[in-house]
Structure 1
Amino acid sequence: MGVKGKLDVEVDIKSHGDLFHELFGKKPHHVPNITPDKIHTCDVHEGDFGKPGSIISWNYTLDGKKCVAKELVEAIDEENKSVRFKIIEGDLLKEFKSLTISVHVVPRGELTAVLWSAEFEKIADDGPYPTKIMDFCIHVTRDVESHHLKD
């Protein structure tokens, strides 16, 4: 049995949290337009954007390598402004037996906190922790913030 864990990062942004939540909850296919050097495509494989139970396919570059991921949209919580994706296929499952990524937006006065969580089980005890993925999420968050601030 592999090592299980959870890794959290919090990024404060100046742009409005509702826009950020709507982007990842209902319009993830717009993300490649905002951060094309990191995320290249986002397509619905099954279901509809913005609907739990849908399966979304992503093409992205992580650590200089072109990668793919298929994610099940497990939950979209409008009240708490959170979205939860479970990786069901792709490059990330070469290092992790299971991986679920959540993003939660929390308004804090003039700033908004974007909380990213990775719940994982490693395939091998000495395998990597999902730090590259969390760094990637931080960079995507900054790109989204910059995009919304210039609008």
Structure 2
Amino acid sequence: MALSGKRVFQVEIKSKGDIFHNLWKSNPHQIPSLTPTTIQNCQTHDGEVGTVGSVLLWNYFYDGKDCVAKTLIKDINDDKKSITFEVLEGDLLKQYKTFVSNVQVDNHGSNNVVTWTVEYEKLSPSVLDPDTLMEFCKKVAKDIETHHLQN
């Protein structure tokens, strides 16, 4: 059984893709107010928000428990509307040796597609693939969409 894996998940949103991308890039501290049942807090731990190399500390509710993750922004591509995070510390690293996620938005008129790509290496063959995390990401995207459609 392979320990390394990759998961790709897409969700269509009606809110503007540019707003979604800029939220993750430049205003991640606002995400908890838009998704209070999933993400409770986001703080800049090191560096400047919106720049490669900055470190963010996230508190979130996942799989029935309070969790934490410290992430490094590895890449920002404004042309592709994508941002890549690498988990440096936290609950995910109890099961995975490495965990890198990318969130990208493709504009398609009034509808947009958010694509999450997760690349990971499990600590052991008994660790499950992060499929439930993909459902978590879908809920986050839909919560953000709901907020932006109401405004």
TM-score range, shorter chain: over 0.9
Gaps of 5+ in 1: none
* SS in structure 1 at match of 2:101: strand
Deviation track 1:59-86 (CA, whole Å, cap 9, x = no partner) reads 0100110000000000111111000000
Normalised by the length of structure 1, the TM-score is 0.97
Aligned position for 1:102: 102
What residue is the counterpart of 2:40 in the other structure?
40
Contact 1:2 1:124 in 2 (8 A): no
Shift of 1:5: 1.0
The one-letter amino acid of 1:33's match is S
Q: Does 1:69 align with 2:54?
A: no
Instruction: State the shift of 1:126 in Å.
Output: 2.3
CA RMSD of aligned residues (A): 1.1
Structure 2 distance, partners of 1:2, 1:90, is 23
Q: Say which SS state the counterpart of residue 51 (structure 1) adopts.
A: coil
Taking the aligned partners of 2:141 and 2:64, their CA distance within structure 1 comes to 18
Aligned pair count reads 151
Alignment of 1:1-151 (within 5 A): 3-151=3-151
Q: Take 2:98 and 2:15, find their aligned partners in 1: how far apart are those partners? A: 32
Q: Deviations over 1:39-78 (max 9, x none)?
A: 1110011001111100000001001100000000001111
Q: Percent identity?
A: 42
Residue 2 (structure 1) shift: 6.0
> What SS does structure 1 have at the residue aligned with 2:124?
coil
- Offset at 1:37? 1.3
- TM superposition score normalised by structure 2: 0.97
Which stretches in structure 2 are left out of the alignment for 5+ residues?
none
User: Runs of 4 or more off by more than 3 Å in structure 1?
Assistant: none
